[in-house]
Amino acid sequence: MNWFGWLQFAIYIFILLVLVKPLGLYMARVYQGERTFLALVLAPVERFFYRLASVKPEEEMNWRIYAGTLLVFNLIGLLFLYLLLRIQHVLSLNPQNFGPVSPDLAFNAAVSFTTNTNWQSYGGETTMSILSQTLGLTVQNFLSAATGLAVLVALIRGLVRHTTDKLGNFWVDLTRSTLYILLPLALILAVALVSQGVVQTFQPAAVVQTLDPTSGAVTQILPLGPAASQVAIKQLGTNGGGHFNVNSAHPFENPTPLSNFLEMLAILLIPAALTYTFGKMVGDTRQGWSILAAMTLLLVLMAGVAIWAESQGNPALASLGIDQSLGNMEGKEVRFGVAASALWATLTTAASNGSVNAMHDSFTPLGGLVPMWMMQLGEVIFGGVGSGLYGMLAFVVIAVFVAGLMVGRTPEYLGKKIEIYEMKMAALIVLIPVLTVLIGTAVALVLPAGRAGIFNAGPQGFSEVLYAYSSAGNNNGSAFAGLGANSVFYNATLGLAMLVARYALIVPVLAMAGSLARKKKVPESAGTLPTHTPLFIAWLIGVIVIVGALSFLPALALGPIVQQLLLGTGRLF
């Protein structure tokens, strides 16, 4: 890999950071009920939806009602999507006459898209009807992302307000997230992608004649569909998933270097901008910048490792005399190359997105370790839309609490005392994904049904299982491949892991928000721990890395680490 790959990486980070403040400020105004430039068009639409659903936007909810409303709404969405997939064969917009999705796969897919995971054990163009793709999957891409945004806004209100039990109205937060943020951005991105050649049509397929003059009159069927609209929201909403089986490695989803750059930018755009939204809403933008700095430093470090590892090539292949001057090109599209593929892998696992433009299973062990560990850190290095920042705030609470104990003072954050209840909730938020991943991996390796899906021996097979449960247990959705995941066992266990990783975290987040909202504001004093300084940024990074290392280092040692060491012997796994 030459200098151009590193330059592309630097340009990406620069443009992302430039966009943080304008988009973050806009979102803060949306959630604070202030007038925006889209209000003239969208405010009447917003009021119409409230009247249609008999919602009174001025009536706020405590955390229990907020959480209960959210859970019921998501359950209805899950059941609707499951039913749609089971009966798609009798519905319209199914020109290829796809049959019903099997019960276990329909459960897995419905859970996956409802939880903002978008893990796929199927090929979209060979399994899902156009109606299932649009009315089912794409709609959930919007709603699951809006749900994450709503939870984050409720937590921010808990930090800002005092002596109250009100956190806002879930229906208002959901509507504004969808109407003012996700829809406009998705429309802009979809149009840009169509200009680059991403397909957007209700035609299921095109029959074309091959270009090989020696093949005679041979035709090929090219699957089509409304891809651009789904790709736009899958990236912006950190959903992941793909209209086509190979995801954003498919030329109809991601045809050019420019479309590749725009999709990568969309992956982190909202999670990054939310840090400024947070700072603006709590009345101290330095708090948002400090969190963004911690996220960016970890991202740059890990992306640099991935790009470097993939640019070195595979020593085992080099020993066979194979030219690897371009790096490890196995499983990568030549139109993107090593740098863009390794960067995408890091971004998609940093952001709980899960889309891919290269096959992670073909990465070098060290290159594959990076996306795996990014997920295992709890999807807080930017993370999912909304969910990444509220996960990061749980780490902030832990960092503040530990630092306060070290200096013998009651821990405080943004004028709120951090006490035992908040620590319990933060511990649940941090530890539940860890337990979900490790228990799921252990069960799959012990039971015959789990081992039956492992097609590669040695540490590679172990890594594939660990990666799958890391992905499901952190609502990411990417995969190492090489694992027979479309089975009753994996569809069921990965589905359960996705449910736990989403809703078992949302409830303690909202509970912590409710507790914080009831507290009084504590005046800042000389003994207050500043949480916007370089020292605190370094401390926060240390807490995140220590938790990730302590939780997963033994498992990683059995997979990618030992595999990297074995590469020096010329062995391939």
pLDDT exceeds cutoff 70 at 274: yes
Q: Which amino acid is at 121?
A: S
Q: Is residue 427 one of the residues assigned to a domain?
A: yes
Residue 251: partners with Cβ closer than 8 Å, 6 or more residues away: 197
Split at pLDDT 50, 70, 90, the class of 345 is very high
pLDDT at 568: 63
Q: Is residue 352 one of the residues assigned to a domain?
A: no
Element (H, E) at 434: helix 420-446
Residue 45: partners with Cβ closer than 8 Å, 6 or more residues away: 179
User: Domain containing 503: what range?
Assistant: 387-567
Question: pLDDT digits over 518-539, tens only?
Answer: 999 888 777 778 899 999 999 9
Question: pLDDT digits over 148-178, tens only?
Answer: 999 999 999 999 999 999 999 999 999 999 9
pLDDT exceeds cutoff 60 at 571: no
Q: Which pTM was predicted?
A: 0.94
Q: Is residue 200 one of the residues assigned to a domain?
A: no
Lowest mean pLDDT among 30-44, 252-266, 399-413: 399-413
Among candidate residues 324, 345, 353, 341, the one with its CA nearest the CA of residue 480: 345
pLDDT at 573: 43
Average pLDDT over residues 295-316: 90
Average pLDDT over residues 221-233: 91
Q: Is residue 448 one of the residues assigned to a domain?
A: yes
Question: pLDDT digits over 115-125, tens only?
Answer: 999 999 898 88
Q: Is residue 350 one of the residues assigned to a domain?
A: no
Task: Report the mean per-residue pLDDT for the chain.
Answer: 92
Among candidate residues 148, 150, 155, 153, the one with its CA nearest the CA of residue 171: 150
Query: Quick one: how many helices (H) and strands (E) in the chain?
Result: 22, 4
Among candidate residues 543, 552, 279, the one with its CA nearest the CA of residue 405: 543
Split at pLDDT 50, 70, 90, the class of 214 is low
Tokens 């609490």 belong to 401
pLDDT at 240: 85
pLDDT exceeds cutoff 70 at 1: no
Q: Cα angle at 396 between 390 and 398, to 5 degrees?
A: 110
Q: Is residue 530 one of the residues assigned to a domain?
A: yes
pLDDT exceeds cutoff 80 at 39: yes
* pLDDT above 90: percentage of residues in the chain: 75
pLDDT exceeds cutoff 70 at 426: yes
Q: What DSSP line would sit under 50-102, residue for residue? A: HHHTT--TT----HHHHHHHHHHHHHHHHHHHHHHHHSGGGSSS-TT---PPP
pLDDT at 149: 97
pLDDT exceeds cutoff 50 at 255: yes
For residue 361, what is the DSSP state? G
Average pLDDT over residues 87-93: 94
Decide if 30 contacts 176 (C-beta within 8 A).
yes
Here the tokens at position 287 are 């708090």
Among candidate residues 568, 533, 516, 15, the one with its CA nearest the CA of residue 264: 15
Q: Cα angle at 194 between 130 and 205, to 5 degrees?
A: 35
Q: Is residue 119 one of the residues assigned to a domain?
A: no
Number of independent structural domains in the chain = 1
Split at pLDDT 50, 70, 90, the class of 146 is very high
pLDDT at 570: 46
Q: Is residue 440 one of the residues assigned to a domain?
A: yes
The neighbouring-strand residues paired with 25 are none
User: How much is the CA Rg of the chain, to the nearest whole Å?
Assistant: 23
Q: At what angle do helices 139-160 and 387-407 cross, to 10 degrees?
A: 30
